[in-house]
Amino acid sequence: MVISMKSVAFVGRSLALFLCLLILPLGLRAQVVRVEVPQTVVQGASFQLSYTYSGSEDFERVTEPKVAGLQVLYGPARQQMSSFQSVNGRNSSTSSVSLTYTLMAERTGSITIPAVTATIGGKRVNVHGATVRVLPPDKNAPAGRSQSGGATTTGSYFFRALPGATVVYEKQAFPIRYKLYATTEFDINSFEAPQYDGFLSEKQADDGRRQLQLETYQGRNYRTVDILSEVLFPQRSGTLTIPSSKIGIRVPVPQASDDPFFGSAVLADRTVESAPVTIQVRPLPTEGQPKDFSGAVGSFRMRAELLTKSPKTNESVTIRLTLEGTGNLKQVISPAIAFPQDFEVYDPKETYEEKVSATEVYGKKIIEYFAIPRRTGSVTIPALTFSYFDPKLGRYETLRSQIFSLNVAQGPETASDDRGSLRQQEQLLRQLYDTEGVSAPKGLRWATSWSYLLLFPLIALLGFIAYLVIARQRGLRADSLGYKASRASSVATKRLRTAHKLLKAGKRDAFYEEALRALWGYLGDKLRLPVSELSRSSVSEILRTRGLDEETITCLTQVIDEVEFARYAPAKEGDMQALYDTAAEVIGAIDSHKL
């Protein structure tokens, strides 16, 4: 077979072209041009549009952006920057080139800067456009002077609390922003966060960076910046007030000067305060409220799954329930599951994670239920239900899982089989009490003495006492609220022990969560109220009417506030120990008083 040289050359050129086509997109992708332009500008004021390229190729030029409403005053101005860095003997250098246009907006509204074409190393690269929002000129700006000129009058500054809604339902999440407005440059010195009464709050993660924007308010342009973004949950109905908040700033104050071109200014400290905001909180409707409703307000989804595919006796069966959505999922009591009576049930395991944005709180709670079947056969576990109130729809919604049907097979035998041990005890008792044909043991003459006869009324008395105790326990269990009230102290002690273990383990968030659960759980059981109806004011009023001293009530509200506040503020181990000791003392003081 003879292959001509022309064929070889054609194949070589084709292969080279193919490789170039593969490499070219990679080279163009590496040649990224960054567009920098303010998000908001003022009509008639100049601003800059920069195209910056970082790379080894030559950034030759970029086409001029042409759009109606924008006038090119100057450009492009070329600026080149280089930097050299040496870390641990490793040297690195970077360089960038910027081409900058000076523009002026001739009309208000939103203006889209079109995409342009840049030439880099002889290659044409498309550069995406941008959008700017143009505000009208400040009505109070002095005539004939640019708004970006030097300060000739004292600036205007104020601080606003901006809630996302002023009429909400109880426990409904709503966002709130604290925004600073200024007509001059400023530095932030201090910030005093608001102290809420009747609200739980979730703070948005703050990386410390503040983005300055221009905004028109009442005909005047301001530099604005968001200082704090939170999501609030009202805990009771009625009229609640978001208190004022203070921020300290350092601003320039113009001074009298004879220089007609350049004025002078000194820096001064000022404190601005936001006005209180009133929130109308509607109570949750009682009509149509499901029996399993535990205070969840928002929008949620539920998924249940049986993790144990082949259940066997004496082996754990696990059912996992996942709840997720936006709302107060963190404060919600998990749904209860009804395992069959011959299942040995253990405490469920809960995990919770959340993401707080500027407008809502997204939470995800995973509950794993554990039980051990003791008998073989087919059993059915009823569906799990979770009810919540949807404030957008204005009604209650109930989520239901599937019904779980299990066919329990025989598992490994264990020495702790209750049925076997009961049968063995029954046979042993029959052998002990079957005295037929057995003579009385010798040496038991005391059986005919007075001391032996006195045992009968003593046994009768003990039996009567046992009967009273059992009757009281049955009565308490029949009255579920009374039963919980009688066990409030022991349940709270158990939770405090768990909190103390978390304290020692250094698990800060889990410690505060368990301490708060111990306090509210104890108050709910002791006062025979559901947790959804508890608040600082309602608990204080009930304890006051039942004769508890004011000092203990004040101490209780203070420790609740400290625990709730400490969940969102840095705390030392000593502070956590002090909160733990105070919580235990308050529970002990309330428990010693007959409510």
pLDDT score for 393: 94
pLDDT score for 108: 85
pLDDT score for 15: 55
List, for residues 129-186, the tens digit of each pLDDT value. Answer: 888 888 888 776 544 344 443 434 578 999 999 999 999 999 999 999 999 999 888 9
Q: Which of 374, 376, 318 has its CA nearest to residue 343?
A: 374
> Would the CA dihedral through 412, 415, 418, 423 be positive or negative?
positive
Reading the block at residue 477, the tokens are 């269990």
pLDDT score for 82: 75
pLDDT score for 389: 97
pLDDT score for 481: 57
pLDDT score for 448: 60
Residue type, 354: E
Long-range contacts of 488-491 (CB under 8 A, 24+ apart): 488/522, 488/525, 488/526, 488/591, 489/522, 489/526, 489/587, 489/591, 491/521, 491/522, 491/525
Q: Strand 277-282 and strand 167-169: pairing?
A: parallel
Integer Cα distance of 335 and 290 in angstroms: 13
pLDDT score for 260: 56
Residue ranges in the chain whose pLDDT is less than 70: 1-31, 84, 86, 89, 92-93, 140-153, 208, 256-264, 414-452, 474-486, 531-532, 567-574, 594-595
Question: From the centroid of its chain, how far is CA 575?
Answer: 23
pLDDT score for 195: 92
**Are the beta carbons of 385 and 398 closer than 8 angstroms?**
yes
List, for residues 399-443, the tens digit of each pLDDT value. Answer: 999 999 999 999 887 654 544 444 444 444 454 444 444 455 555
H or E element in which residue 588 lies: helix 573-591
* Residue linked to tokens 């899982």: 401
Residues written for the chain: 595
pLDDT score for 563: 77
Cis peptide before 290 (omega within 30 of 0): no
User: Where do the domains of the chain lie, and which CATH numbers do they carry?
Assistant: 32-133 (2.60.40), 155-255+262-280 (2.60.40), 291-406 (2.60.40), 479-590 (1.20.120)
Rounded to the nearest 10 degrees, the angle between the axes of helix 573-591 and helix 508-527 is: 10
pLDDT score for 424: 43
